[in-house]
């Protein structure tokens, strides 16, 4: 019986020694875990979301506070933004991993997101074994988060904050007028131009066929070139600053859904549409413009203004 116990003890010692020797030899002192996911989205738009702190909660699928978030007992912290991604630290059960999320451009509408994490083990076999299992757990978590990113990014409204669709030019006959205002034009400034166009159309037997349009541009934040337009049902002659224009019926436009809000909201939607335009490498024959659905002189609450934004494209 004593011999049997000794044999059993020797066997156990040999198994433990082999286990730790295997850990010492085959688990390196430093190793990297890596996962990648493919996203049907432009790499520029993916990078904007990845480096936009306000997107992180939806992006990672966790509540973010002071650049930190948790998944179970694993703590993630965004350390800094890089040219093609972000650097992160990951902590679990006393182990620290240095992570990197990279945006990998593949084509105009396809992007890879690679998440790597490095862990230092040293030579201690106990630490190697512990860190090995921690790293495998972190790998599972990062796969889940990458899948969340993929789902989030493949919805364009999540990326741009607006819905964009393509449409044809509907109003081909326009009268326009343009002037330059010192400082951003007020509602009164804008409607002084719109009212001028409406009076001219009425005086010449033309009917307004759609909402007024507006384009405001500046190169120095002091002088604002303001163009107002009015769709009409017949050809009119030029008169002083009022010009008649005929748009090609084959023309195409990128359009947003209805945007509700005042100047800040409209400006933000303009920027988002411009990002969409640039990400998809469109070329434009003309400047983007607003279609003013709400009469802003009558509706004083800017939160109730409704606007559609258009961007001409080839």
CA dist., res. 279 & res. 260, Å (int):
24
Q: Which fold has domain 164-313?
A: Multidrug-efflux Transporter 1 Regulator Bmrr; Chain A (3.20.80)
Instruction: Report the pLDDT value the prediction gives residue 238, as an integer from 0 to 100.
Output: 97
Q: What is the dihedral sign for C-alpha 10, 15, 20, 24?
A: positive
CA dist., res. 228 & res. 212, Å (int):
7
CA dist., res. 13 & res. 5, Å (int):
12
Strand partners, 76: 69, 90
Do 29-155 and 164-313 come out as alike in CATH topology?
no
The domain ranges of the chain are 29-155, 164-313
Residuewise pLDDT in 10s, the chain (314 residues): 555 556 665 555 555 555 555 545 555 556 788 999 999 999 999 999 999 988 888 888 888 888 999 998 899 999 999 988 999 999 988 888 899 999 999 998 999 999 999 887 665 666 677 777 888 889 999 999 999 999 999 999 999 999 999 999 999 999 999 999 999 999 999 999 999 999 999 999 999 999 999 999 999 989 999 999 999 999 999 999 999 999 988 899 999 999 999 999 999 999 999 999 999 999 999 999 999 999 999 999 999 999 999 999 98
Cβ-based neighbour number of residue 70 at 10 Å: 12
The answer to whether the CB of 144 falls within 8 A of the CB of 213 is no
| The pair of three-digit structure tokens given for residue 292, joined into one six-digit string | 């003013």
| The pair of three-digit structure tokens given for residue 8, joined into one six-digit string | 């059993």
CA dist., res. 23 & res. 49, Å (int):
40
Instruction: Quote the pTM value.
Output: 0.81
- Backbone φ and ψ for 261, nearest 5 degrees, come out as 145, 175
Strand partners, 39: 111
Strand partners, 78: 88
**DSSP per position, 29-61:** SEEEEEEEEEESS-HHHHHHHHT-GGGHHHHHT
Q: Which fold has domain 29-155?
A: Alpha-D-Glucose-1,6-Bisphosphate; Chain A, domain 4 (3.30.530)
Instruction: Report the pLDDT value the prediction gives residue 135, as an integer from 0 to 100.
Output: 83
């Amino acid at each position: 019986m004593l011999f049997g116990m000794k044999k059993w003890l020797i066997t156990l010692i040999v198994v433990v020694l082999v286990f730790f020797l295997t850990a010492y030899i085959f688990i390196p002192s430093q190793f990297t875990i890596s996962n990648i996911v493919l996203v049907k989205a432009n790499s520029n738009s993916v990078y904007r979301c990845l480096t936009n702190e306000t997107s992180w909660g939806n992006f990672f699928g966790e509540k973010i506070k002071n650049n930190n978030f948790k998944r179970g007992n694993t703590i993630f912290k965004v350390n800094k933004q890089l040219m093609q991604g972000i650097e992160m630290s990951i902590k679990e059960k006393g182990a620290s991993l240095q992570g990197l999320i990279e945006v990998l451009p593949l084509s105009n509408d396809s992007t890879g997101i690679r998440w790597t994490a490095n862990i230092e083990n040293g030579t201690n076999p106990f630490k190697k074994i512990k860190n090995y299992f921690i790293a495998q757990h972190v790998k599972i978590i990062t796969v889940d988060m990458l899948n969340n990113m993929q789902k989030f990014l493949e919805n364009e409204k999540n990326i741009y904050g607006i819905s964009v669709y393509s449409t044809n030019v509907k109003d081909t006959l326009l009268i326009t007028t343009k002037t330059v205002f010192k400082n951003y034009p007020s509602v009164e400034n804008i409607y002084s131009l719109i009212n001028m166009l409406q009076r001219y159309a009425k005086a010449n037997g033309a009917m307004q066929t759609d909402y007024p349009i507006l384009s405001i541009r500046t190169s120095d934040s002091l002088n604002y070139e303001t163009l107002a337009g009015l769709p009409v049902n017949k050809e009119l002659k030029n008169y002083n600053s009022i010009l008649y224009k005929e748009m090609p019926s084959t023309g195409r436009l990128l359009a947003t859904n209805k945007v509700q809000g005042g100047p800040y909201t409209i400006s933000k939607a303009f920027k988002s549409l411009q990002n969409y335009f640039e990400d998809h490498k469109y070329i434009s024959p003309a400047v983007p413009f607003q279609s003013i659905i709400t009469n802003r002189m009558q509706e004083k609450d800017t939160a109730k203004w409704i606007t559609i934004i258009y961007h001409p494209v080839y």
